[in-house]
Structure 1
C-alpha cells in the first residue's frame, strides 16, 4: 500500500494544480471573445461621464480604451448603480470594475484589485494669490469650507492643526466661490473634484502640495480571475512605462497622476 500511496500522492498534487490552472481561464475567455466588459458609474466626472452627444468621456474611459487597443479587445461599457456594482460583477454582468474605485480593506475582502493606477484623496485648495497657506499643516486657526456630508470631514479630523472655523456648503463649487469672495481661507475637498473645478477657472485657485488623506484607485476583478487581473495589470504597467498613461492623464488633469513618484 505504501509504495502505491507514494505513486498516487504526486499524481493527486498534479491533478490539483491542473484543476486550479484550468479553473482560471478568465483571460483566455476574454481573449477568445475579443471583448472586455467594464462596469461603471457613468456620472463621475472627470473619470467617466456623458456629454450632450450621449457618448462617454473621461480619464478612465480613455485609459481603459488604451488598454483594450493594446490587447486587441473591444471595450463594452456597462453603466451600473454604484451601490450594487460588486454584486453585479459576481453576477457576471461585466468582467471588471474600472471607475475610480477606491481600494479599501473592506473591498479587498470581496474583489481582486489591480495595483493602484492613480492616487486620489482629500486636498486643500486656496485662491492663487494666497501665500500664507503653503501646506495643509498651515490650516490651524483658519476659516475652512467643506461640502456637507462629504469625506472632507475625515480629512479635517486628520489635520495636525485644526481650523478655527469650519463652514459647510451644499456643494464644493459654492464653497470655492465663497473662498474666491474672501469669506474662506481654504476649501478641503476631493482631489479630482478640485481639479475639475480649477480646470474651468484657470488661474483662480490652486491645490496645496500633499494629500491630507489618500485614496488609491484600482481596477476590481472577481477573486478567481487572477489571469485576467494579471494581464490587465501587465498592460497598465506597459502604458505607464511608455508614457501613454501620462499623456492621457495630462489631457484630463494637466499633469501626470499615474506615476507613483508623484503621489
Structure 2
C-alpha cells in the first residue's frame, strides 16, 4: 500500500512539474498565448494617452500600443489606471506594459524595468501667456502667493514638493487642469515640455515657459515587468525598428509640431 501511495505521489509530482514547465515564463509568451496585450494607461495625458467621452483611446502611445500588439498578432486590452495607482496596478500584474508619457524615475526603476528611451522631456512651467515674465525661475514660482496646480501622484507632484514647497499646491484632474489656469483659478502648472507645448497649441492663452530649458531633466519610456529580459528585449527591438523606419516619428507628427 505504501508503495502504491509513493508511486501515485511521484506521478502527481511529475505531472505538476510538467505543467509548471509548460507555463510561459515571459510576458512575450503569455501575450501570444492569451492573444491580447494588456496595457496600463491613464487616459488623461495628451498628447500621449487620452480616453475620449465615447470610451475610445487616442494619443501617441495609444497608436504605439496598437503597433506593438500588431507586431505580435494580438489585440490590445486597455487597463485604466491613474498616476497614483500606476505602480500598484503594475505590480499587481494587471498589465504587460505601461504606456502613456511615463517618466523614467529611480523610484519606479526599483520596482520595474523601463524600455529604451523614447524621448528627452524635462519639467517646465505652463502659465497664462500674459504672466510668462512672472514665472521664469524656480525662485519666482516658489512663493507663498503663487497657486500651483498639479495632477496627484505623478512626477509633477514630486517636483513641486521637492522644489516648490512655499507655493500653494492644489490638485486637479489632468483633463480639466488647463482650464483652471485659463480661468485664473491657478497660476502655474509644472509639467513636461511636450505636454506644455501641446496645450499651448491647443489652448490660446497658455504658454510653455522656456520649453527647451528644463528645470529638471527627464526621459520618457515604457514600463515593463522587472526581471523579464525576453519581454524587454522584444519591446526594445520593436521600438528600435519603429524609430529606424520612421513609424514612430510619423505617429508623433500627428500630435506635435516636429522640427
Determine the C-alpha separation between the residues in 2 that align with 1:83 and 1:126.
24
State the number of aligned residues.
224
Q: What is the alpha-carbon root mean square deviation over aligned residues?
A: 3.9
Runs of 4+ residues deviating >6 angstroms: 126-133, 137-140, 142-145, 165-170
Match of 1:161 in 2: none
Does 2:163 correspond to 1:153? no
The alignment's TM-score, normalised by the length of structure 1, stands at: 0.66
Secondary structure of the corresponding residue to residue 98 of structure 2: strand
Determine the C-alpha separation between the residues in 2 that align with 1:115 and 1:77.
22
- Range with bigger deviation, 49-58 or 123-132: 123-132
Map Cα deviations across residues 147-174 of structure 1 (whole Å, 9 max, x no partner).
26845636866xxxxxxx9787875544
Match of 2:239 in 1: 236
Secondary structure of the corresponding residue to residue 100 of structure 1: coil
- Give the alignment partner of residue 252 of structure 2, picking from 243, 249, 252: 249
How big is the shift at 1:47?
Answer: 2.2
- 1:31/1:210 Cα in 2 relative to 1: closer, same or farther (>3 Å)? same
Map Cα deviations across residues 74-93 of structure 1 (whole Å, 9 max, x no partner).
22111135434334334332
How big is the shift at 1:201?
Answer: 3.1
Map Cα deviations across residues 83-132 of structure 1 (whole Å, 9 max, x no partner).
34334334332212223222211211111111221333321457779998
Determine the C-alpha separation between the residues in 1 that align with 2:246 and 2:108.
30
Decide whether the 8 Å contact of 2:123 with 2:214 is kept in 1.
yes
Determine the C-alpha separation between the residues in 2 that align with 1:128 and 1:233.
39
- 1:71/1:207 Cα in 2 relative to 1: closer, same or farther (>3 Å)? farther
Map Cα deviations across residues 177-203 of structure 1 (whole Å, 9 max, x no partner).
65xxxxx8xx56213442342122358
Determine the C-alpha separation between the residues in 1 that align with 2:59 and 2:44.
10
Decide whether the 8 Å contact of 1:41 with 1:80 is kept in 2.
yes
Decide whether the 8 Å contact of 2:196 with 2:207 is kept in 1.
no
Determine the C-alpha separation between the residues in 1 that align with 2:258 and 2:244.
16
How big is the shift at 1:24?
Answer: 4.4
- 1:83/1:156 Cα in 2 relative to 1: closer, same or farther (>3 Å)? closer
Residues 1-263 of structure 1 mapped to structure 2, 5 A cutoff? 24-125=25-126, 146-147=148-149, 150-151=157-158, 153=160, 171-175=177-181, 187=188, 189-191=190-192, 192-201=194-203, 205-208=207-210, 209-255=212-258
Determine the C-alpha separation between the residues in 2 that align with 1:83 and 1:130.
30
